[in-house]
Amino acid sequence: MRAAVLQFPGSNCDQDALFALRNDMGAAAEYVWHDETSLKGFTAVFVPGGFSYGDYLRSGAIAARSPIMEAVKEFAESGQPVIGVCNGFQILCEAGLLPGVLMPNRDQKFICQDVFLRKEISDSRWTRGSQKVLRIPMAHGEGRYTASEEQLEELKAKNLIAFRYTSAAGDDDPEANVNGSTNAIAGIINERGNVLGMMPHPERAANPRFAYGDGLQILQGLTSE
């Protein structure tokens, strides 16, 4: 694997992502600046978190229209893996690579805490072989996933909801849905399954020396089929 970690003005999880890919996964990874127009030579793309362009207009909106995102669209169409985390998820939604939008958290507060995610699909490259419930940190002010009625129906019908916020035991629990996402959605994939967007940060929990390294199980999706 050779992964591209995109950098936009205001990205701030790019270093975490590069570290996780290089040190925790032992993979080759390089930064790619937003002005670039090619992803030649890369086999995976990581769109990191942060506050690209200061969240002006809407979170992820400006970054989604940058030159590198045209290359990411082509890359995704070719079936290669793309993960967007936090602001990266917002960017993928704004770019039209994933449906829906991330709204300000229900309680209007920035939330920084560990959450439990239940994997909702087991035959995806991102979840195959992973535990049923993963503990992953989140840190965002705008992570309340929502989408149009038709988009939500399609996500359910086509089994595209990858992760939901649940209790530690993996049970549905309104209290666990801390940002108020529709249907407790924490992460979704595209129809082809090669693009994953999620609000919690697997790259921040990918080191086996931590008490938990569950994020690594998700990042493995960048290398598998």
Partner 1 sequence: MADSLKKLGYAEVEGARIGKLIELEVQEYSEERVKQMCDRLLANPVIEDYRFEAVE
> Binding residues for partner 1, per CB under 8 A?
57-58, 61-62, 65, 94, 99-101, 103, 146-148, 151
3-state secondary structure of 28: strand
Q: What are the backbone dihedrals phi and psi of residue 41, each rounded to the nearest 5 degrees, phi first? A: 90, -10
Residue nearer to partner 1 on the CB measure, 122 or 148: 148
User: Cβ 151 to partner 1, closest distance in Å?
Assistant: 7
* 13 flagged as catalytic: no
Least spacing, CB of residue 13 vs partner 1, in Å: 23
Name which of 52 and 127 has its Cβ closer to partner 1. Answer: 52
Which of the residues 94, 120, 142, 203 is marked catalytic?
203
Give the distance from CA 136 to its chain's centroid: 12
SS3 assignment, position 159 = coil
Judge whether 34 counts as a catalytic residue. no
Q: In DSSP terms, which residues pair with 164 in a beta bridge?
A: 118, 185
Q: Closer to partner 1 by CB, 60 or 202: give it.
A: 60
Catalytic residue among 86, 94, 120, 142: 86
CB of 145 to partner 1, least distance (A): 11
Interior angle at CA 44, CA 39 and CA 46, nearest 5: 95
Q: Are 29 and 3 in contact (CB under 8 A)?
A: yes
Whole-number Å distance between alpha carbons of 185 and 200: 11
Q: Are 104 and 141 within 8 A, CB to CB?
A: yes
User: Which among 34, 93, 201, 225 is annotated as catalytic?
Assistant: 201
For residue 36, indicate whether it is catalytic: no
Q: What is the largest CA-CA distance in the chain?
A: 44
Q: Which is nearer to partner 1, 48 or 60 (CB)?
A: 60
Residue 62 beta carbon to partner 1: minimum distance, rounded to whole angstroms: 8
What residues are annotated to the active site? 86, 201, 203
